[in-house]
Amino acid sequence: MSLLTLHNNLTTYLVIGAMLFGIGIYGFITRRTVISMLISSELMLAGASVNFMAFNRFTAPDPVVGQIFTLFIMAIAAAEAAIGLSIVVAIYRNYTSIETEDLVKLKG
């Protein structure tokens, strides 16, 4: 197995999906604005989609199912992004800030 035949290997895609997921987790923990956390969660969802598509390509008997599942993931992620961003806009109206440190109204 060399570098040029990596794309015919299930493990490559699993490692790629894990990389995307790890990058997303790192961003989700370290970023300080709500929009950046949303961007990181999109990266995590992309990692999950890559995993689904890899198993669909290499191990599933019916290669249609995984593609349909990935389509549904994309639709749900688009709905989540729309709702999340409108919540961000509403937060900005109330606090004039989107940093997570400033959203402390519930703090005792």
Partner 1 sequence: MNSLLLSSQTPALFSADGLAGLIFLIMVAVMLLGGLMACTSERLVRSVAGLVVCFVGVAGIFYYLNSPFIAVMEMLIYVGAVSVTIAFAIMLAAPEQSKKFGPCGPLAGPLGFLTAGLAFGGLAVLGYRTAWPVQAKINNGGMELIGVQLLQDYSMVFELVSLVLLIAILGALILARSGRNH
Residues 4-33 that bind partner 1 (CB under 8 A): 4-11, 13-33
**Which residues, including other chains, have CB under 8 Å from residue 92's CB and lie 6 or more apart?**
98
3 binds partner 1 (CB under 8 A): yes
Q: Which is nearer to partner 1, 39 or 106 (CB)?
A: 39
Residue 97 near residue 35 (C-beta atoms within 8 A) = no
Residue 19 near residue 38 (C-beta atoms within 8 A) = no
Task: Give whole-number Cα distances, 51 to 32, 36, 57, 65, 86, in Å.
Answer: 28, 23, 10, 13, 29
43 binds partner 1 (CB under 8 A): yes
Residues 72-101 that bind partner 1 (CB under 8 A): 72, 74-83, 85-94, 98-101
Q: Which is nearer to partner 1, 93 or 108 (CB)?
A: 93
Residues 46-75 that bind partner 1 (CB under 8 A): 46, 49-50, 53-65, 67-68, 70-72, 74-75
